[in-house]
Amino acid sequence: MIEQKIQIQETEAQFIENYAEHGFHSMSELISRALELLKRELEKQNALIQSADLYAEVYEKDEDLQDWTNSAIEDWE
């Protein structure tokens, strides 16, 4: 394991110090789990951005899709 010194807000420190109340065996376990969840969330967010970029690229190149979308929008108005 690597030991790392960080600075955090007082409220965050209190949360970490109460690790047992949250079902963790140690502060390290709580922080590791939090980082794992953050990593997953950031990976999901990145995947969504990449997906949106690909859809935008397809939409930009496909005139039939643009016409179909515009037609659907007109039906809503």
For 23-76, the pLDDT digits (tens) are 999 999 999 999 999 999 999 999 999 999 999 999 999 998 988 988 888 877
pLDDT band at 21 (very low <50, low <70, confident <90, very high): very high
Angle of the 27-61 helix axis to the 63-76 helix axis, nearest 10:
100
Q: What is the pTM of this model?
A: 0.72
